[in-house]
């Protein structure tokens, strides 16, 4: 195995972005070794691992065993059921339910900041829908190229999108309009947009 091939294989195990580091391993012993090696290398460069911000996530086991990973001074790194990396939520179940829930909650919080503009009666509805699709929807879809969506997550995203579209179009929940009628502004539902984005990402990759 040449050096370049070894480096490519190592990338599969360790991801470093700025000061965020992910170390993966197939078993507890290998993970402990990799954590120790990284900590030693970082300390030689004058850096220090913040154990309070470090977490261990176990995936791929039905029994959900607890594992013990220690830093070099003996402190045990806490084990989490889920955590965020680069604004994406990873969970021990391995699905994207936690990530979709997190996206929805984050977007609904930010929605309050723009609702006064996109729900303004003086603004053309087509313009408001355009703002929604280019700003709000993109935040809702962040990282969706890697999601494996089940019907449950699709429904959650579509329901959230429909709720905001009703607000934009000033349509009360009491008004029994069909979803297709609400999307009369040539608006493709979010689950279909995600499928197209995933196909494009796969093709370009």
Q: What is the pTM of this model?
A: 0.64
CA distance 43 to 37: 10
- Non-local (6+) Cβ contacts of 148 within 8 A are 95, 96
User: Each residue's pLDDT tens digit in the chain (205 positions)?
Assistant: 444 444 444 445 677 777 788 888 888 888 899 988 888 888 888 888 888 888 888 876 555 677 888 888 888 888 888 777 777 777 777 778 888 998 899 898 888 888 888 888 888 888 888 888 888 888 899 888 888 888 999 999 998 988 888 888 776 555 555 555 555 555 678 888 888 888 887 777 6
DSSP 174-191: TS---HHHHTTTT---HH
Map out the domains of the chain as residue ranges: 3-91, 97-204
Q: What is the pLDDT of residue 148?
A: 82
Please provide residue 89's backbone torsions phi and psi, each rounded to the nearest 5 degrees. Answer: -95, 120
Residue-wise pLDDT for 11-44, tens only, equals: 456 777 777 888 888 888 888 999 888 888 888 8
């Amino acid at each position: 195995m040449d050096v370049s091939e070894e480096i490519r294989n190592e990338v599969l195990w360790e991801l470093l972005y700025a000061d965020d580091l992910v170390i993966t391993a197939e078993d507890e012993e290998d993970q402990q070794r990799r954590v120790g090696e990284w900590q030693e290398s970082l300390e030689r460069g004058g850096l220090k691992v913040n154990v309070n911000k470090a977490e261990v996530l176990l995936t791929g086991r039905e029994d959900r065993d607890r594992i013990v990973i220690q830093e070099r001074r003996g402190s045990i790194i806490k084990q989490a059921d889920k955590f965020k990396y680069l604004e994406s939520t990873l969970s021990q179940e391995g699905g994207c339910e936690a990530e979709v829930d997190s996206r929805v909650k984050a977007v609904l919080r930010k929605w309050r900041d723009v609702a006064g503009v996109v729900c303004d009666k003086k603004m053309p509805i087509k313009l408001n829908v355009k703002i929604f699709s280019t700003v709000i929807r993109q935040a809702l879809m962040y990282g969706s190229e890697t999601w494996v969506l089940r019907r449950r997550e699709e429904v959650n995203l579509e329901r959230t999108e429909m709720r905001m579209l009703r607000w934009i179009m000033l349509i009360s929940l009491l008004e029994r309009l069909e979803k297709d009628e609400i999307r009369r502004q040539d608006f493709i539902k979010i689950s279909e947009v995600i499928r197209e984005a995933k196909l494009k990402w796969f093709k370009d990759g």
